[in-house]
Structure 1
Amino acid sequence: MDNFNFYSPTEFVFGMGRENECGELVKKYGGTKVLIHYGGGSAVRSGLIDRVKASLDAAGIPHVELGGVKPNPHDSLVYKGIEIVRQNGIDFILAVGGGSTIDSSKAIAMGVPYKGDFWDFYEGKASAACALPIGVVQTIAAAGSEGSGDSVVTKEDGMLKRGASSEHIRPKFAVQNPALLCTLPAYQTACGITDIMAHVFERYFTNTLEVEITDRLCEAVLLTMVKEGPRAIADPANYQVRANIMWAGTVAHNGVVGCGRSQDWNSHAIEHELSALYDCAHGAGLAVIMPSWMEYVVDHNVMRFAQMATRVFGCQMNFENPKATALEGIKAFRRFLHSIGMPINFAELGAKEEDIPKMVEKLNPGDGWGFVPLKAKDVTAIYTIAAHATLE
């Protein structure tokens, strides 16, 4: 196990009706005027925004609204949010939604005190020295952004999807009411389950030795998804199932399962080009990319993939041919994703094989990074596997 620092300061406020505590939570963390940032009309139609506003009103905290966040959030709304916050003297941002809304809120929070263009953080030209405080009312279990210091935003000019990280953008609090997930469509639920599993796998496939404790933590989250994912699709109103998935999504990405081990994140980077180009759901893109990445790199550490196969998907270990077990585990993962309604290849996702060179060029993998360092030819090969993937 490697040396590590673990920092997770977010207060998680979990359970039925906890969104009614937003006003007191904002006050607790120093907010005096709030930007309520949210996505589409569902948060309004469901009455959630009204409940949040009523809670803020009861605490005597004025607020301004900015809706319209889209999946794969765009920089144009971030610029608008920064302007609104500066003009109105707002000192706290409350994200009401899923990962896209939270990530957009984080971008605004970094951009307000910064004298330059907030996109500098996403191009790696600058690091955030400070940010406005953020709170979250989570409505989707997927991205884990409610407990992380990460944000992903798409620049409309060139459709560049890039990430930024800073400890300053970890939310002060995250309200998690699993009942808010019960009305999610099955496809959105499945995308979230896929994203959660991908967050774990990006940490599970490591070159660090002797990491049994975090291996087992990773496997616990993955096994929870394998059990609860199909249940959520079949019985969407099951509060306890949604509760398990919601907390798993947080644990998957707040850093605890990755402590003391090298990580990968190649699959996420490769997928970002798909969702930037085709505006597909991030989880759906990961369902196509991650098993294909696994197939391409399996020979790097056959026994780690065999471990996944036996511990997570219940495959029988073939001691004479461990690679057969490893490949069976990858197939089992792809079959699981297909069973909950996820695409498994380019055709099902709506992507085109002829666009592979364009995506590779925009990704610009250079000398590579992660579990297996990847160059342009490797990324091309992974996209090609993804284009033609089957359940066989």
Structure 2
Amino acid sequence: MKNFVFHNPTKIVFGRGTIPKIGEEIKNAGIRKMLFLYGGGSIKKNGVYDQVVDSLKKHGIEWVEVSGVKPNPVLSKVHEAVEVAKKEKVEAVLGVGGGSVVDSAKAVAAGALYEGDIWDAFIGKYQIEKSLPIFDVLTISATGTEMNGNAVITNEKTKEKYGVSSKALYPKVSIIDPSVQFTLPKEQTVYGAVDAISHILEYYFDGSSPEISNEIAEGTIRTIMKMTERLIEKPDDYEARANLAWSATIALNGTMAVGRRGGEWACHRIEHSLSALYDIAHGAGLAIVFPAWMKYVYRNNPKQFERFAKRIFGLEGEGEELILKGIEAFKNWLKKVGAPVSLKDAGIPEEDIDKIVDNVMLLVEKNLKPKGASLGRIKVLEREDVCEILKLAAK
């Protein structure tokens, strides 16, 4: 097990009926005026908006609103919200919605204290060391952004989808009421689950194998799979929603990283090019990329892939035969819950592979290299490797 420091400063308020606590949490932080950021209006249909507004009013918090954040959040909306935040002299940012809204809130909170274009942080020209305080009310469990310092934004003009990480981007308080997710479309539940599983697998396959971290990872993956199947049958199963919600949070709050090498992250970065170019759901793109990547790199970490097959799917045997059965079992589960498992399933033509690879390699140059990072860990991927993985994912 590698040495580690574990510190997560985010306060989580979890459970049914917790949304009205947001005003109290903001007031206790000494905030008097804030930017309220949200998406396309679903929070007005499901009652979340009214709960938040009533709580802000009750606790004397002033706010200005910016709405219209897209599922793959774009830079232009961040720019719009930063301008409002600066003009209105807000003291904090509140994101109410899914991971896209919370990621946008983080970018806005950092951008409000930066004189330049906050996109600089995503291309290695600026290191985020300060931001306005960030609060959120989560309505979709998937990305784990509610309890980490990460944010991903798409520059829609250049088709670049890049991430940034900073200690300054951890939310102060995140509220998670699983019951507000009862009305989510099946696809959003499934893609959120796939995203959460993928976060765990990025650590699980990074070339490390601490027993406690393996056990936590495997138990959480099995829980996510079971809860997803239950929710497909009964979307208002509170216990299933609650277990899935907390699983998605701990998937990327540092718990899975303990004692490991920092994570693999090749699949996420390849997927960022898919959703940047084709605007598909992030979880859908991960369902396409992950099995193909697994098939391409398993020889670089065979023991862990054997363990995956045994512990997640209860398969028996050993060696390559067992590994390939495990990968196929994972792919079959993704199909079973309704996720696409090929470029073809997502309507992406195989002839576009070169264009996708170009976009991935641009990410390597502009987003990874400035941070001293590479594409992959157990196998550092070059252009031809990405091309082969996408060919495996094509059909």
Partner of 2:29: 29
Partner of 1:148: 148
Q: Does the 8 Å contact 2:129/2:167 carry over to 1?
A: no
| Aligned counterpart in structure 1 of residue 348 of structure 2, from 347, 351, 368 | 351
- Letter paired with 1:168: A
Distance 1:69 1:368 in 2: 29
| Aligned counterpart in structure 1 of residue 386 of structure 2, from 368, 379, 391 | 379
Distance 1:265 1:111 in 2: 26
Alignment gaps of 5+ in structure 1: none
Partner of 2:325: 328
Distance 1:281 1:208 in 2: 29
- Letter paired with 2:323: A
Matched, 1:243 2:238: no
Q: How many residues align?
A: 384
Distance 1:48 1:275 in 2: 28
Matched, 1:234 2:241: no
Cα deviation for residue 361 of structure 1 reads 1.3
Cα deviation for residue 102 of structure 1 reads 0.4
Show CA shifts across 1:325-364 (max 9, x none).
1111111111111111101111111212111111111211
Q: More displaced, 350-359 or 174-183?
A: 350-359
Q: Structure 1: which 4+ aligned runs deviate by more than 6 Å?
A: none
Partner of 1:40: 40
Instruction: State the superposition RMSD in angstroms.
Output: 1.0
Matches within 5 A, 1:307-326: 307-316=307-316, 318-319=317-318, 322-326=319-323
Show CA shifts across 1:70-124 (max 9, x none).
0110000100100111111111111100100000000001101111110011111
Residue 346 of structure 1 aligns to a residue whose secondary structure is: coil
Distance 1:127 1:78 in 2: 17
Partner of 1:260: 259
Distance 1:31 1:378 in 2: 49
Cα deviation for residue 260 of structure 1 reads 1.8
- Letter paired with 1:256: T
Residue 393 of structure 2 aligns to a residue whose secondary structure is: helix
Residue 136 of structure 1 aligns to a residue whose secondary structure is: strand
Q: More displaced, 2-11 or 127-136?
A: 2-11
Distance 1:315 1:180 in 2: 36
Q: Does the 8 Å contact 1:138/1:174 carry over to 2?
A: yes
Q: Does the 8 Å contact 2:46/2:180 carry over to 1?
A: no
Matched, 1:197 2:194: no
Matched, 1:177 2:174: no
Matches within 5 A, 1:71-82: 71-82=71-82
Residue 347 of structure 1 aligns to a residue whose secondary structure is: coil
- Letter paired with 2:121: F
Distance 1:371 1:220 in 2: 23
Residue 132 of structure 1 aligns to a residue whose secondary structure is: coil
Q: More displaced, 247-256 or 346-355?
A: 346-355
Matches within 5 A, 1:46-65: 46-65=46-65
Q: Does the 8 Å contact 2:301/2:378 carry over to 1?
A: no
Distance 1:182 1:12 in 2: 20
- Letter paired with 1:301: N
Partner of 2:124: 124
Percent identity reads 41
Partner of 1:369: 376
Show CA shifts across 1:255-310 (max 9, x none).
11111211100000000000001000000000000011000001112111010000
Show CA shifts across 1:177-222 (max 9, x none).
010111001011100010000000000002235x111111111110
Cα deviation for residue 368 of structure 1 reads 3.6
Matched, 1:341 2:338: yes
TM-score by length of 1: 0.96
Alignment gaps of 5+ in structure 2: 366-373
- Letter paired with 2:259: G
Residue 174 of structure 1 aligns to a residue whose secondary structure is: strand
Residue 104 of structure 1 aligns to a residue whose secondary structure is: helix
TM-score by length of 2: 0.95
Distance 1:28 1:375 in 2: 50
Distance 2:246 2:287 in 1: 21
Residue 95 of structure 2 aligns to a residue whose secondary structure is: strand
Cα deviation for residue 6 of structure 1 reads 1.4
Cα deviation for residue 137 of structure 1 reads 0.3
Distance 1:96 1:126 in 2: 27
Distance 1:62 1:75 in 2: 26
Matches within 5 A, 1:88-99: 88-99=88-99
- Letter paired with 1:386: A
Show CA shifts across 1:111-144 (max 9, x none).
0111111001111111112001111100001010
Matched, 1:215 2:214: yes
The change in CA–CA distance for 1:368 and 1:143 in structure 2 (over 3 A counts) is closer
Show CA shifts across 1:6-63 (max 9, x none).
1211110011111001110111223211111111111012221111011010000111
